[in-house]
Amino acid sequence: MQERIGPYELEQELGRGTMGRVHRAHDSRDGRPVAIKTLSLGSEFQGYALDEARTRFQREAQAARRLRHPDIVDVLDCGDNGTLAYLVMELLTGRDLTTHTRPAALLPVSQVLAIGARVADALAHAHDHGVVHRDIKPANVMIDPAKDQVKVTDFGVARLLDASRTRTGLVLGSPSYMSPEQLAGRAVDGRCDLYSLGVVLFQLLTARLPFSGASMSELMAAVAQQAAPDARELRPGLPDALADVVSILLEKRPELRYADGHSLAGDLRLVASRMRPRAGSDAAAEATLSPVSGGQQRLQADRGEGASDDADALPG
């Protein structure tokens, strides 16, 4: 007999993570294909902590359902059948960005810029509605170039990982992408998501993570104390302005990063525009950074040498 959760009939498993699994499914009422993420709250929490986790899940899931943005996966439904909590989402096509963190599969710089700007837009929308993702990583960004699709997934889940971490003292989730304040267990805001996006951009551009360690303690020390490497050291020829944007995102102190996703998206698109050759000119424009208040940076255009890398780019 086919497994069922509420009106949803589960089909094949699409993936699994720290606390749950994702299945393809369909809504028996209208046949609509969906994706369902199930979370085994009972295996992570007991007693009062379980009741609290269920309440938190419902609150976060309802907040995620209210997000309506073309680059955020739609959360269609949520519930709890007593043993499993579940999120029902639109079923996506394409692939996540994990593939494109490998040296042989790096995307053109122009496509990284376009994807980064759209993820920044999506995060700005979520932050404007009081929702912080807390687990931005390549696996949580789906792309389908044939459909011009970029989708940020897994809103509404990471708060449960944070709660489980607090209970157990373990770091759950994706520590390589976490900001210093998140790894330290301090209060976070949307700027922690922007830091994580900076790690993703660094990896998409260089096929390397900015920080690593042989153990969790070594990784946490590196994230907290070491200066982030310059992406141009690993991939010479990257536009100076792009390397500067990534460096700003990887600042240790939140107030030195971009203040919001809106300004980040604007700067990424400006870098992309300055990589395109001007009409009637053999030279491309290169962007340089000038500081403004609050540690945030804005791009100003100067003439310089550069190369166009726009083939197969997703529109920003």
* Residues contacting residue 39 through CB under 8 Å, at least 6 positions apart: 19, 20, 57, 84, 85, 86, 87, 157, 160
Helix (H, G, I), strand (E, B) or coil at 238: coil
CATH code, domain carrying 35: 3.30.200.20
Neighbour tally for 29: CB within 10 Å: 9
CATH code, domain carrying 230: 1.10.510.10
DSSP 180: H
Domain boundary among 66, 90, 114: 90
20 close to 13: Cβ distance less than 8 angstroms: no
Top pLDDT among 98 and 157 is at: 98
Distance of CA 257 to the CA centre of its chain: 16
Known catalytic membership, residue 74: no
Number of domains the chain contains: 2
Characterize 218-241 residue by residue with b for buried, 16 or more Cβ atoms within 10 angstroms of its Cβ, and e for exposed. ebbebbeeeebbbbbeebeebbbb
* Residues contacting residue 1 through CB under 8 Å, at least 6 positions apart: none
Query: Do 39 and 70 fall within a single domain?
Result: yes
Closest to 189 measured CA to CA, from 152, 134, 121: 134
Residue 312, domain member (yes or no): no
Answer whether residue 172 shows pLDDT above 60. no
- Write out the residue range of the structural domain in which residue 223 sits: 95-303
Query: Do 28 and 171 fall within a single domain?
Result: no
Task: Extract the annotated binding site for ATP.
Answer: 37
Task: Extract the annotated binding site.
Answer: 37
Q: What is the mean pLDDT of residues 71-95?
A: 90
pTM of this structure: 0.83
Answer whether residue 112 shows pLDDT above 50. yes
Query: Do 15 and 113 fall within a single domain?
Result: no
Condensed to tens digits (0 to 9), the pLDDT of residues 19-77 reads: 678 999 999 999 999 999 988 766 666 677 777 777 888 888 888 899 999 999 999 99
Query: Do 126 and 73 fall within a single domain?
Result: no
Domain boundary among 28, 60, 90: 90
Query: Do 163 and 256 fall within a single domain?
Result: yes
Query: Do 163 and 295 fall within a single domain?
Result: yes
Answer whether residue 188 shows pLDDT above 90. yes
pLDDT for 163 equals 47
Catalytic residue among 135, 193, 267, 309: 135
Alpha-carbon distance of 70 to 190, in angstroms, equals 19
Q: What is the mean pLDDT of residues 82-89?
A: 84
Residue 126, domain member (yes or no): yes
Alpha-carbon distance of 249 to 256, in angstroms, equals 8
